[in-house]
Structure 1
Amino acid sequence: MVWKVYMHLVSMLTLGVVSMVCGFIFVSKMLSGVTSVIEWELMTLNSLTVIFVLIFDWISMLFLSFVTLISSSVLYYSGSYMIEDKNFDRFMYLVLAFVMSMAFMVLSPNLISILLGWDGLGLVSYALVIFYQNEKSANAGMLTVLSNRVGDVAILLGIGLMMNLGSWNFMIWGDYLGDEKWLFLKGLMVLAAMTKSAQIPFSAWLPAAMAAPTPVSALVHSSTLVTAGVYLMIRFSSALEASKIQSTLLIISCLTMFMAGLGANFEYDLKKIIALSTLSQLGVMLSILALGFPDLSFFHLLSHALFKALLFMCAGVVIHSVSGYQDIRFMGCLVKFMPMTVSYMVVSNMALCGFPFLAGFYSKDMILEVAFMSWINFIALGLYIFATGLTVSYTMRLVFYSLSGSYNLSSLSNVYDDKVMTNSMGVLGISAVVMGCMLSWMLFPEPYMICMSSMMKSVVLMVSGLGAVLGYLLNMMNSTNVLKSLSYYKYVVMFGSMWFMPFLSTKKISEVSLAKGMMSEKFMDKGWYEYFGGQGVYYIFSKMFVVLNTLQLNNVKVFMKMFIVSVAVVLLVYI
């Protein structure tokens, strides 16, 4: 019992110290411009050398510092959220294993060593998604792990292709890989990033993974696992410059951003709304990276990790207090009962919307201005503008239904601020306010030159204001008549179900693959492959072994017959 009570404290303190150490190393690397590399030669095969590589530069140290900071807060938060769970120790070990896998992935510039962390992330996330061991969790875990296996296969194929270079260190060969003859390899890396970051058509697994405990969502599905694909693309960005694959990645990420924002406006599950919000912000990161600004993508990755983890933790406190409800229609007026949690939730929501001088403002505002200045097509520009308005719209809708609307809770709900959970959110709450400006000072000591017309400059502000007003007023008017949307039922179902992506990712694929697989097994695996394969070879060898066995019995008659036959053959040949 003592171990169960204090394990979250020990984990929090350990990861907090690691975060501080990584922060100090980041400052020293940033000021000196020095990169440290540790190499361990595992084996040599002809001219190929398999090396386990760890790189310590300012990017990896800063990201690792943020990962461990968020992990320490989430582990301390889990001490109250998961304390009554029978498998509390197993949960803590799984989260620590996940943090270790993330560290391996962040510190690896080598495709072979990155696979250790990459596969570790997929395996541990599967174990965390199925943690509650019910049918919904099992289905969500299977969808998660199978979607991510596509990216794992892409990494393995990339390892095979890079054998031609004699090394798997993609940071060394970045400029050389910019040649168009390596387009297939770059396509594989983009595919791997799309599966991990849940871009279209692999978007269905991220909302489904919300079946995991809320602390898992706060850590895994907001700031670490889903950003692994973006981080890989940031490391691979030198090979993507001026490549045909960039325009494809831009369109896919912009569509994902728009689709997720639209779906969040029709969703009623609190955790799925935040998951779709994460999906939308992942589209923002990959789209600006596809435009050729990996530093801006990294900046938004870090600032988004802080306020989105905080938002998930606030959602966990709310769900914990309202007897396990996740439907926002069964909440309301929480500001009177949970002032501390609601304060943190408002701060994280405003940071998500890009409210001036919060963490999200510095990254989102710069990303949108740089995107408007870039040479992008009209479709991508329109998707950027619409996605910005939709972000503010679903945020204000969430605020209305859960925080400021009418009281819809059960009369037996004991709604209050949990002391341990609110204390664990303190560091992230402060970071969501001040860390944006600090990061902008550190990462961009020389400011970007933004040259735009006053109309384009005010587009973001106008769209955000319009989205906020529509998101709040439309839901306020529909709160008395929820079924009003049934007159547009087909459109609501399409937009609310992520353009039927969960249906296509599960039912249709399983039907087609299982039917084809059954035919293949019947006609090939148990048919021609058996006849010409294993069973056929077994039949031939069994007949040959009968002959050999007869010869090995030392039978005089056999030897006499063989002797007579051989003499006859010799006589025939010479006569």
Structure 2
Amino acid sequence: MLKSLSICLVSFFVLFISSLVSVIMGFYFVSQDWVIFIEWEVLALNSSSIVMTFLFDWMSLIFMGFVLFISSLVIFYSREYMGGDFDINRFILLVLMFVLSMMFLIISPNLISILLGWDGLGLVSYLLVIYYQNVKSYNAGMLTALSNRIGDVALLLAIAWMLNFGSWNYVYYLEAAAGSLEMKVVGALVVLAAMTKSAQIPFSSWLPAAMAAPTPVSALVHSSTLVTAGVYLLIRFNALLVGNWLGSFLLLFAGLTMFMAGLGANFEFDLKKIIALSTLSQLGLMMSILAMGFPTLAFFHLLTHALFKALLFMCAGAIIHNMKDSQDIRFMGGLVKQMPLTAACLNLSNLALCGAPFLAGFYSKDLILEIVSLNYINNLSFVLYFFSTGLTVCYSLRLVYFSMSGDFYSSALHPLNDEGWTMLRGMLTLMVMAVLGGSMLSWVLFPTPSMICLPLYLKMMALNVSILGGWVGYELAKFSLSYDLVSLKMSFFSSFVGSMWFLPFISTYGVSSMPLLVGGKVLKSFDQGWSEYCGAQGSYQVFVNWSRWNQGWQNNDLKTYLIGFFLWVIVLLILTFL
């Protein structure tokens, strides 16, 4: 136990100090406009060098700092949350491997070293999703791994296609060769990879399924590591999206993802899945603003979202921990009386998610919506943006109503308390950042304030939509019985919207199971059938027969063969004369 505590504490201190150093260096790089390249040539092949390259600029350093900061607090939080686990050392090491893979991805301007971090994230995420070893976790892990393999294959194809350029350092070619066919193909493959990792439609079903992982992992995955890897990759490749069909394609699918996740969260009762769907909605927001050609804005929202989303998951973990692993929000209620500090953190992170003024989410989300209003954009995308914003506030108010108001609807003898000070310290640290992080980052990333002049109705649109969405969410939750009766009357619509437009069924039964079944048939008939008969096993039987015949001659039984031969001759002669 002491050994596991020491590993937790050492990991926490190392990651926390590294995060402070990285963020301070990042802020300094912003002010000085510095970029540092470090290269190490591993192998030269066909005039193409495999080079291990590290890119240190303001973006990579600040993002690294945020990832290290959140992961340090998650490990500190895990001391208490995973305290009863005998394999807590294995858990901490897996989390550290996860963070290391993300570091590789962040500082790599080279597609091969990006693949190293990308595949590391995929592998370790599988191990973390199946950490609680049961059938549900195994199914969720397999769905996560198979969905992410599509993106891995797309990156491998992009690496093969970039062989024509003489180097895999994409930063040299983005501007110069943006219009060429090769870079268009590479851009399409990178967009496909990013859509799988960031769970955009039609690859969305794995993200809520990955909630089978322990809650500290969910806090890390959904804030700053796995799901943000695709967004970060597209921030780097943004020059390939602007002004062509790829940007329009991504804008449509990201907008639909944002809308689908927001609508689905209003029909969900699992606490962790509601927060997972809110992550999916925010990822759609980041992807769509990227598709419009604003990578710095997407990066700004990525950082602010990481702060309040990690806090939201930590609060959910504290509630689940105290409720003895119950995740259904219908059994909660009156938590504000039993767990006031946790409830305060949860409500504050929810307000930041909704874009409440002067919290972290407000500075990035409001700016994004104003830029959308200012730009040329089609009506469908405009409606999806603002309707999804309203849905965010709708499911947030619904969650707060179910969990905070009324009476406690579970056991009368309950252990609810706010005495888990190890978890609370991590949550309170993140709460400070969820309040101050947005303004601090906006001062650093946008030192010159943007003046966005809009008509009054457009300027107030985000606020009005949020207030309307919050009112609808409150009313729907308050009239829960009549709401449930309407849901039963419209059962097909409820099941369609509540199951993410049937994407989990399509992904598991259609996309994942069919290739596996076909692969099994091919394996049986070809690899273990005709291939064996005409290949290895067939050759083996031929050689066995030949060696037996050869062995017979080598046994020196010539007399036996001659006597047998003469006997056959005599029999044939007798038969002939008869």
Q: TM-score, normalised by structure 2?
A: 0.91
Q: Aligned equivalents of 2:280 and 2:226: distance in 1?
A: 12
The equivalent residue for 2:175 is: 175
Give 1:188 shift: 0.5
> Between the two proteins, what is the percent identity of the paired residues?
55
Give 1:177 shift: 3.6
**Counterparts of residues 149-188 of structure 1 (less than 5 Å):** 149-182=149-182, 183-188=184-189
Q: How many residue pairs end up in the alignment?
A: 553
Does structure 2 retain, via aligned residues, the 8 Å contact 1:94–1:124? yes
Does structure 1 retain, via aligned residues, the 8 Å contact 2:143–2:512? no
Q: Aligned equivalents of 1:5 and 1:504: distance in 2?
A: 43
The equivalent residue for 2:447 is: 445
Q: Aligned equivalents of 2:200 and 2:499: distance in 1?
A: 15
The equivalent residue for 2:207 is: 206
Q: Aligned equivalents of 1:399 and 1:70: distance in 2?
A: 24
The equivalent residue for 1:424 is: 426
The equivalent residue for 1:321 is: 322
**Counterparts of residues 304-383 of structure 1 (less than 5 Å):** 304-383=305-384
Q: Give the residue type in structure 2 aligned to 1:32.
A: Q
Q: Give the residue type in structure 2 aligned to 1:58.
A: W
Give 1:542 shift: 9.2
Q: Give the residue type in structure 2 aligned to 1:318.
A: I
Does structure 2 retain, via aligned residues, the 8 Å contact 1:308–1:348? yes
The equivalent residue for 2:506 is: 504
The equivalent residue for 2:266 is: 265
Q: Aligned equivalents of 2:161 and 2:389: distance in 1?
A: 39
Change (3 A) 1:200 1:410: same
Q: Aligned equivalents of 1:453 and 1:187: distance in 2?
A: 37
Q: Please list the CA deviations of residues 454-510 of structure 1 after superposition, one character each: whole Å capped at 9, or x if unmatched.
A: 111122111111110010111111157744421111111010000011111112234
- Which segment is superposed worse, 103-112 or 29-38? 29-38
Give 1:198 shift: 0.5
Q: Aligned equivalents of 2:95 and 2:525: distance in 1?
A: 45
Give 1:403 shift: 1.1
The equivalent residue for 2:570 is: none
Does structure 2 retain, via aligned residues, the 8 Å contact 1:97–1:124? yes
- Which segment is superposed worse, 509-518 or 74-83? 509-518
Is structure 2 residue 126 aligned with structure 1 residue 126?
A: yes
Q: Aligned equivalents of 1:62 and 1:541: distance in 2?
A: 66
Give 1:386 shift: 1.0
Give 1:6 shift: 2.9
Please tell me the root mean square deviation across aligned C-alpha atoms, in Å: 2.3
Change (3 A) 1:480 1:241: closer
Q: Please list the CA deviations of residues 27-63 of structure 1 after superposition, one character each: whole Å capped at 9, or x if unmatched.
A: 2211211111111110111311110011111000000
The equivalent residue for 2:26 is: 26
Q: Give the residue type in structure 1 aligned to 2:114.
A: I
Which residues of structure 1 form unaligned runs of 5+?
550-575
Q: Give the residue type in structure 1 aligned to 2:152.
A: D
- Which segment is superposed worse, 207-216 or 6-15? 6-15
Q: Please list the CA deviations of residues 283-329 of structure 1 after superposition, one character each: whole Å capped at 9, or x if unmatched.
A: 00000000000000000000000000000000000001111110000
Is structure 2 residue 304 aligned with structure 1 residue 303?
A: yes
Change (3 A) 1:9 1:480: farther
The equivalent residue for 1:559 is: none
Change (3 A) 1:71 1:519: closer
Does structure 2 retain, via aligned residues, the 8 Å contact 1:177–1:239? no
The equivalent residue for 2:475 is: 473
The equivalent residue for 2:568 is: none
Q: Aligned equivalents of 1:202 and 1:222: distance in 2?
A: 19
Give 1:83 shift: 0.6
Give 1:512 shift: 2.4
Q: Aligned equivalents of 1:275 and 1:107: distance in 2?
A: 27
- Which segment is superposed worse, 503-512 or 317-326? 503-512
Q: Aligned equivalents of 2:483 and 2:178: distance in 1?
A: 56
Q: Please list the CA deviations of residues 170-191 of structure 1 after superposition, one character each: whole Å capped at 9, or x if unmatched.
A: 1111113411413221111001
Give 1:8 shift: 1.9
Does structure 1 retain, via aligned residues, the 8 Å contact 2:223–2:307? no
Q: Give the residue type in structure 1 aligned to 2:514.
A: V
The equivalent residue for 2:556 is: none
- Which segment is superposed worse, 146-155 or 533-542? 533-542
Give 1:515 shift: 3.9
3-state SS of the aligned residue for 2:42?
A: strand
Q: Please list the CA deviations of residues 261-285 of structure 1 after superposition, one character each: whole Å capped at 9, or x if unmatched.
A: 0000000000000000000000000
The equivalent residue for 1:408 is: 409
- Which segment is superposed worse, 508-517 or 263-272? 508-517
3-state SS of the aligned residue for 2:69?
A: helix
Give 1:519 shift: 4.0
Give 1:136 shift: 0.8
Q: Aligned equivalents of 2:23 and 2:547: distance in 1?
A: 70
